[in-house]
Amino acid sequence: MNDSPLRIAVVGHTNTGKTSLLRTVMRDVSFGEVSDHPAVTRHVEGAAVVLGSDGGSGRRVEWYDTPGLEDSISLLDLLETMRAGRRVEGIDLIQRFLDKPESHDRFAQEAKALRQVLTSDVALYIIDARDRVLGKHRDELSILAYCARPIVPVLNFVAAEDARTKEWREQLSRAAMHAVAEFDTVAFDAASEQRLLEKMRTLLDSHGELLTELIEDRRDERARLIAATGNVIAELLVDAASHVRTAPTENRRERDAALDAFRKVVVEREQACIAALLELHRFRADDCDASALPIEDGRWGVDLFSPAAMRQFGIQATGGAAAGAMVGLTLDVMLAGLSLGTGTLIGAAAGAMLGVGRSHGRQMIKRARGMTEVHCDNATLALLAARQVTLAAALLRRGHASVTPMHLADAPAKQVITDSHGLVSHLDAARLFPGWSKLSGASGPGSPADPRRQSLVEELAEHITAIIRNAADQVGRLSHP
């Protein structure tokens, strides 16, 4: 078994996304500096993936970001002058070049990259697939070939409309490079990351085992991430569904104040969920990049309790939900024609049979006292679910190098809406136990400690995980037709 770390040099023309690749592979939005300028990275910077940090082997895969190759044409000229028609092996030529003063002066950037390639096991040659294939690219490949290291060309920005993927593949196969990987650092796709690693494995026998471990590690990591995401969203839904507040039936002002307070608490809870998702997916909320998410300033552009939000997601508002102050809420109003005595009795009797006696009895008593209970309505819960699922799917598809805003379609896939409505039907149990809600001001039967709550969360999380996976795949199919 080869215990030494695997070293990967990431090279390429300037501004093709070398640092971006590292960011995305490391899931680290703060690695290096990324911007649409030439020669942003002028140094060699490394980061390592430590395998099995969870009590595993602790072996390392080291990735090195290098300055861009800018003047390959002149450099190849220089190398050929140095060769002067004699038969010199490429690697000796490179060594000799690195000893020359030019390597610290005119070609300092190129020399840094080449030096790193020489100390690495493999070089990833990053290509902006939107660029035309030019002489300078061919010369870069020639120079890299002198280094006598396996090279995996990586096509970046393949999700772009004007990507010339085919043209590049043709050119690369002409240069005898057939293990070409496609890896978009902005529109992230877990499957293409796996394929990139597999391509590297085919070229690196000595590190095959290590790469297999890395491939599995990445797969597990993603599965864990999706599971945790499902759990975060399930917690939100249970909290929102079980949350109940009472408001006086008659006093309009007090009632509206209570409705506002209710909405505020739920909206804040949604914010907390967004923050948790960002943290989980390692996009920082205070990062300037966060503004590039589908949400503005860490929140969705449209308030949860507005008809516009429902329209945006194509969710049908139920009943009175569309009317003014009641948007997104249901009020349990007193049953007409039932006196206090019969109401309470019927409630208690029905409750006793259903095993939820306290809940119903309590409602009856509150109604009789002139209070109404406020809940989130089903449409709002579906909206909550759909929004978070959409966000989660988008986060799963977002490369950590993205600096431009993410464009979400106006409405998410129909399937997400249908599935979200389906989720709401699982929340009926939560509605009976206001105490399950962890939102402030909650009181009533049930407690957040109720094991049944946890079981419900787990059940929901499983459903949500499946929905997110589908939704993320959908986005994937759209960007890779």
Instruction: List all residues 6 or more positions away from 88 whose beta carbon is below 8 Å from its beta carbon.
Output: 82, 96
300: nearest Cα among 227, 408, 382: 408
Q: Is 470 in the site for another protein (CB under 8 A)?
A: no
First to last CA, the chain: 40
307 binds another protein (CB under 8 A): no
Measured from the CB atom, is 358 or 480 closer to another protein? 358
Asked whether position 29 contacts another protein by CB under 8 A, the answer is no
d(CA 419, CA 366): 35
Binding piece for another protein, criterion CB under 8 A, among 20-28, 87-95, 197-205, 414-422:
20-28
Q: Is the dihedral of CA 320, 324, 326, 327 positive or negative?
A: positive
Tokens 């390392």 identify what position?
Answer: 60
Rounded to 5°, the CA angle 82-87-90 comes to 65
Verify binding: residue 116, another protein, rule CB under 8 A.
yes
Stretch that binds another protein, among 55-63, 143-151, 177-185, 240-248 (CB under 8 A): 55-63
How far is Cα 63 from Cα 196, in angstroms, rounded to an integer?
A: 14
Taking CB under 8 A as the rule, does residue 45 contact another protein? yes
Q: Which is nearer to another protein, 291 or 415 (CB)?
A: 291
Nearest approach, Cβ of 471 to another protein (angstroms)? 19
- Return the residue of 227, 292, 338, 408 that touches another protein, per CB under 8 A: 227
Instruction: Examine residue 60 and tell whether it contacts another protein (CB under 8 A).
Output: yes
Segment near another protein (CB under 8 A), from 31-39, 307-315, 339-347, 408-416?
31-39
Give the binding range for another protein (CB under 8 A) out of 249-257, 363-371, 377-385, 449-457.
Answer: 449-457
Does residue 297 sit in helix, strand or coil?
A: coil
CB neighbourhood size of 457 (10 A)? 21
Q: How far is the CB of 318 from another protein (least distance, A)?
A: 29
Confirm or reject binding of residue 43 to another protein (CB under 8 A).
yes
- 227 alpha carbon, distance to own chain's centre: 13
Q: Does 264 bind another protein (CB under 8 A)?
A: no
DSSP 204: -
Among 6, 12, 97, 115, binds another protein (CB under 8 A): 115
Task: For the CB of residue 432, give the shortest distance to another protein in the complex, in Å.
Answer: 15
Please tell me the distance from the alpha carbon of residue 269 to that of residue 290, in angstroms, as a whole number: 19
Tell me how far, at minimum, the Cβ of 231 lies from another protein, in Å.
5
Contacts of 73 (CB under 8 A, 6+ apart): 135, 136, 139
Residue 481 CB, nearest approach to another protein (Å): 19
CB of 68 to another protein, least distance (A): 7
CA distances from 377 to 250, 318, 319, 384 (A): 21, 8, 10, 11
Residues numbered 200-219 forming contacts with another protein, rule: CB under 8 A: 217
Which of 448, 473, 474, 479 is the binder for another protein (CB under 8 A)? 448
Strands 245-248 and 6-12: unpaired
Q: For residue 11, how far is the Cα from the chain centroid?
A: 26
42 binds another protein (CB under 8 A): yes
Residue among 131 and 184 whose Cβ is closer to another protein: 131
- 295 strand-pairing partners: 300
Q: Please report whether residue 68 would count as binding another protein according to CB under 8 A.
A: yes
Considering the rule CB under 8 A, would residue 122 count as an interface residue with another protein? no
